[in-house]
């Protein structure tokens, strides 16, 4: 199966976002966009106006990770801004099923994210409704943290849990992904690798993506000519 690489803009130069994206446009599969509200996580980042501005500057799908409380209040705005996927945190959604429906009704792919300590059973009754499951491999809120090794077992368990589903959601992993560990993450069952500091924090983001692709053995011809 081919693996998608989603560079996370959190580690890019926010004063030159369009230039940063242009550097990797033809090598990436998605752009991962971290939205933080200063409540669900301590940090604050950006909102729909920045998604809208970037939408005009890239053809890459915009994969928006909402680390915010009460995401239902912002779904419309992020969808209208041009998001291709909206991922909400299970921990921030007492009415998760309703929020997932809201995202789908907005015409956008629906994702759910799980913090490292959140059990997979939180997804039991929603698995067939979502397009994407984002497994956090660090506690969300900051780039550049170390991958939590126990999350490998969680990815394996999730991958087994999805076996036999007619429409399997993608398994994305976010936090501490590097050229060194990406292979074991995909072997465990991840199909989307989100990486911030390993790509935009590297002196050569293009080489970092290429090394990551080599490391996971992604030689699918689909991936040789992007965009
Ligand atoms: C963390 C964010 C990540 C972040 C990952 O809360 O959700 O997307 O950019 O950064 P790295 O790859 O540096 O751990
Ligand atoms: Zn993220």
Mean pLDDT of 192-220: 94
Mean pLDDT across the chain: 95
Mean pLDDT of 140-165: 97
Residue 34 a catalytic site member: yes
Q: How far apart are CA 43 and CA 59, in angstroms?
A: 28
* Strand, helix or coil for residue 4: strand
Mean pLDDT of 107-124: 98
Task: Please determine, for residue 227, whether its predicted confidence score (pLDDT) is greater than 70.
Answer: no
Task: Please determine, for residue 149, whether its predicted confidence score (pLDDT) is greater than 50.
Answer: yes
What's the pLDDT score for residue 219?
58
Buried b / exposed e over 194-213, threshold 16 CB at 10 Å, is bbbbbbbbbeebeebbebbb
What's the pLDDT score for residue 222?
52
Percent of the chain predicted with pLDDT > 90: 95
What's the pLDDT score for residue 218?
79
Query: Which position among 34, 37, 63, 131 bears the catalytic label?
Result: 34
Q: How far apart are CA 110 and CA 162, in angstroms?
A: 16
Among candidate residues 190, 102, 105, the one with its CA nearest the CA of residue 147: 190
pLDDT digit string, tens, across residues 43-59: 999 999 999 999 999 99
Distance 79 CA to ligand 2 centre (A): 17
CB of 202 within 6 A of ligand 1: the answer is no
What's the pLDDT score for residue 205?
98
């Amino acid at each position: 199966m081919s693996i998608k690489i989603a560079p996370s803009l959190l580690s890019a130069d926010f004063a030159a976002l369009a230039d940063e994206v242009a550097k990797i446009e033809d090598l990436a599969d998605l752009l991962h966009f971290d939205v933080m509200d200063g409540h669900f996580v301590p940090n604050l980042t950006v909102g729909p106006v920045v998604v809208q501005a970037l939408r005009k500057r890239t053809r890459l799908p915009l994969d928006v990770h909402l680390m915010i409380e009460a995401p239902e209040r912002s779904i419309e705005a992020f969808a209208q801004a041009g998001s291709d996927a909206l991922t909400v945190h299970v921990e921030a959604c007492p009415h998760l099923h309703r929020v997932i429906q809201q995202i789908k009704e907005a015409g956008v792919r629906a994702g759910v994210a799980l913090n490292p300590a959140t059990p997979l059973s939180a997804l039991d009754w929603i698995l067939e409704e979502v397009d994407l499951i984002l497994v956090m491999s660090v506690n969300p809120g900051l780039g550049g943290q170390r991958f939590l090794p126990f999350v490998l077992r969680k990815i394996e368990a999730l991958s087994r849990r999805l076996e036999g589903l007619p429409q399997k959601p993608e398994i994305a992993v976010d936090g501490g992904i590097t050229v060194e560990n990406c292979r074991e993450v995909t072997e465990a069952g991840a199909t989307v690798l989100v990486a911030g500091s390993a790509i935009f924090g590297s002196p050569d983001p293009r080489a970092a993506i290429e090394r990551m692709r080599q490391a996971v053995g992604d030689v699918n011809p689909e991936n040789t000519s992007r965009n």
